[in-house]
Amino acid sequence: MAETQPLDSGWLRAHPLPEPATDADKNERGRVVAVGGSRTVPGGIRLTAEAALRAGAGKVRVATVASAAIPLGVAMPEIAVFGLAEDDDGEIAGGCGEALGKLTERCDAIIVGPAISGSGPAGAVVDHLLAADCPAPLVLDAAALTCLPPDRIRPLRERRHPAVLTPHIGEMAGMLECEAEAIEADRAAAVRRAAERFGAICVLKGATTLVAMPEGELHAYAGGGVGLATGGSGDVLAGIVSGLLARGAEPLTATLWAVWLHGEAGRRCAERQGPLGFLARELLAHVPGLMRAV
């Protein structure tokens, strides 16, 4: 088994992010489609969308429940928002495949799951994207992770690009169909097992975040603080991954850079405001400067 590789500035300098040409337009900088949100958490997908832009993507389209679409578009005029039919529970309703198909025809990265409250609605979106064999890199987060075993394993493994999965301990336990205590007992083995099972890059979030490739390669980032354990923090991380993918970064490079940027943004917030109490949205403004600093 390969040794764990530390994720630090040396690794990042050896694996730089792709830079757009000085005359590139917003389409050339990359286009993200973000699918998420619900009536209960209408603003969570905003964090994901802004994170993708802060990571350098040129355009972001958000597909969310119809009741949240106009308020979200007003709150964030930099994005395009598309309202999807919603069910009685305020979740994205089934039968949205045609609308999603049009949205994802021309994009460079797709993220599904942030701020969706139920695995059923998230599963319907994931099923459509997997059946359509959309070639754009795919990031699955939050509710999109709770609907994976076992029927969706094969189409995930057969994707042209490995998907990026971003679970916390509880979501990882669901993905591997075991108890959270078993994950905590050997986090490295668990994240490797998940990466191999789904043929995906798997990020196990925590005080030390682990990133595994399907072939067993494992990276560890220990710079994050407890302040990152706050609502919306995961939505930010997933959005950064999608923005870097849209810019043209390879999936592992995008994922590791995103983990580092997210953690270092948390470190800066902790230094300036205190180790606890900063908000997920306060991470966002630090991302562009951190990319430049490496």
Q: What is the pLDDT of residue 37?
A: 96
Spans of all domains in the chain: 4-293
Question: Whole-angstrom Cα distance, residue 263 to residue 223?
Answer: 6
Q: Is 279 exposed, middle or buried (0-12, 13-18, 19+ CB in 10 A)?
A: middle
Q: What is the pLDDT of residue 134?
A: 81
- pTM of the predicted protein model: 0.96
Low-confidence stretches of the chain (pLDDT beneath 70):
1-2
Which CATH superfamily includes the segment(s) 4-293? Ribokinase (3.40.1190.20)
Contact call for residues 156 and 164 (beta carbons, < 8 A): no
Q: What is the pLDDT of residue 94?
A: 83
Q: What is the pLDDT of residue 246?
A: 97
- Give the Å distances, CA to CA, from 38 to 143, 147, 291: 11, 17, 31
Q: What is the pLDDT of residue 2?
A: 67
Give the pLDDT confidence of 277-290 residue by residue, as tens digits. Answer: 999 999 999 999 99
